[in-house]
Structure 1
C-alpha cells in the first residue's frame, strides 16, 4: 500500500492528529539542491534565491539561524510568512498588502504550484524559491542548512564558524539523527498522537532522549566538540519552544526545561549567543501552535505565559570551556529589517 493510502492526513491540510494512529511525519520533500556546481540545474548565485521561512516554525528557524551565523544575508534574501496559516498555505500577512515584496505572492502555495501545479503534499517552510521563475527549488529542511554550510561557502562572511567541522562530522551526524528522531520529531509524536498507547510510547522515548542530553551536557558546553555546530542549531530550536508550547500544548510535561539544569543552562547559553536568541519570536511561536492546531486546541486560546525573563539570566556555562565560534567571530548586529521585536 502506498504512503498516501497509509497516511491520507499527509495530503489533508489542517489535519495533525488522527484518532487511533501514531503520528508519522511525511518526509517526502522536494530534494532538488542548490549547489556550487549547479548539478541539479540550480547553481549558487548571489541574489537569485529567496529563503521563505517563518519564525514560528522550528524547522524553518534552523535555516534562519544558519543563514545569520554564516553571514549570507546579502546573497540569500529572507521572506517571512506570518505565524498563523489556514489549511491551504502559509501566508505573507506580515508584509504590506499581504504579499511577499520580492515574489509578489500572497501564499507560499503559489510558489509550490509554480514548481508543480498538482503538488500533493503540505506547503512547508523553509522553502527556497528561485526568484527568476517564482518556483520552489527545495523544501528539504535538513539538507538546506547543510548546503548553506558547504555549497555556499564562497559567500560566507569573514569569520563565519564551521558548523560542520570535518574532524567531528560523523559524530555531528550521529547526534543529529538521534536528536531528530527522539526530540525534534519526538515532541510532535507526543502532541499529535491519536491514541493513548501512541502517546505513552512517544512520551517515554522523548524523555529517555532528554535525560541522555541532560547527562551529556553536564560535562561539555556544546553537543559535539568545543564549538557550536549544526547539532546545536537543531537541538536549540526545539528547546526554545519547549516550555512555551511543547510542555503543555504537546503534553510533554514530565519536566519543564527550567527544571533540567544542564539543558536549561545550555539553552540559555545559546539563546544569548548572537545568531540564536535574536531570531526567536515567542509570540509568533505561541500563536502558531495554539491557533493553527485546532484539532488539539479547539478554543484557539493562546496562553499568556510562561515568563520569559529567565532566558536572559546568567547561565555559567563558560566554566565548561569551549569557543562558541571556534576560530571565527560572532555575526554582526541584526539588520533592521530582520529584527525581532523585544
Structure 2
C-alpha cells in the first residue's frame, strides 16, 4: 500500500499523464488504496492547479485535461533526456525567431531539477551534439534511442573508445571500434562522427543502423576533425556518398535561388553562369528526389537513371489523373526535358 501521501500523489499524477481516462477503482487498485483516498488525492491535485475532470458512467473515473495555466509535469528518465535533446536542437538550429532563447531557458529549468545521473547525460549531450544538417525535404527516419544517445554522448565527452555492431546501407553487418567525436542530427536521422580505429579514418555512422554501443573504458587523446566543424563534415559525407539513384538537373535559375529553394548543400549546387546551375539530386529515395525536383520551381533538363525517370513520370501521371477527375485542366507534366 502506498501510505506516503506525497509519493502516492506523484504516482497518481504520473498515472494520469499516461492515459486519457482512468476509472476510479482502477486508480485505487494501482495505488493500493481505497476509492475514497483516490477522491481526496484528486481534490489535492485540483488545489495544486491540475485540471482533473470527473467522468460519468457506470464505473466513473477521472481524466487530466488542458487548463488555463501550465502545471508541473512528471517525466521519466528517457522522456527527460529526449526533451533535453529536442531543446538543444531547437536552441542551436531553429529557424523560428526567438525560439532559440526560449529553448535555452526551458533547458536551464530542466537541468536545474534533473537528478545528478540525468544531468550528467544532458551535459554530455550538450557537449557532443552539434547543429542539424538539412538537405532538401527531410526524411522521416527512425528516432534515436535516448539511452543510445546518452551512451555515445558520454563517450564523445570523455574521449572513450566505443564498440558496436553496424549494418551498412546494403545491410551487411559488421563490428566497429571507434573513437567518438560528436553527434549530429541530419536529414531526419542521427549520425555519430568518429575515428574508426581499424580503418584509421574518419567516418559517420547512422544511429538507426547501430546496435549495442558499449564503452570500452579506454580513453584516448582527442583527435582533430579534418573539417571546420562536425556539421560540415557530415554535410560533405552526405553530399559525396554513393547514391542508389543517380539524378542531375541543369536548372535555368541562379545557383543561390536554387540553393535556397532546396535547402541544398553547396557541394550539390554548382553555378554554370549567373542564370544557370547544375544540381546533384541523387539519393537513396525516389520520393525524396521527386520532392527536390518539385522544389526547383524553374525550367530544367534532367539526366537521371531510368528508375528516377519512371518514378517521376508515374507521379506526374497520377497527379494528372487526379486533377482531371475533378474537372480541372492540367498542363503536360514536368517543367523541363527528362532524359533517361
TM-score by length of 2: 0.23
Query: Which structure: greater strand fraction?
Result: 2
Which one scores higher on RCO, CA 8 angstroms, separation ≥ 6? 1
Larger Rg: 2
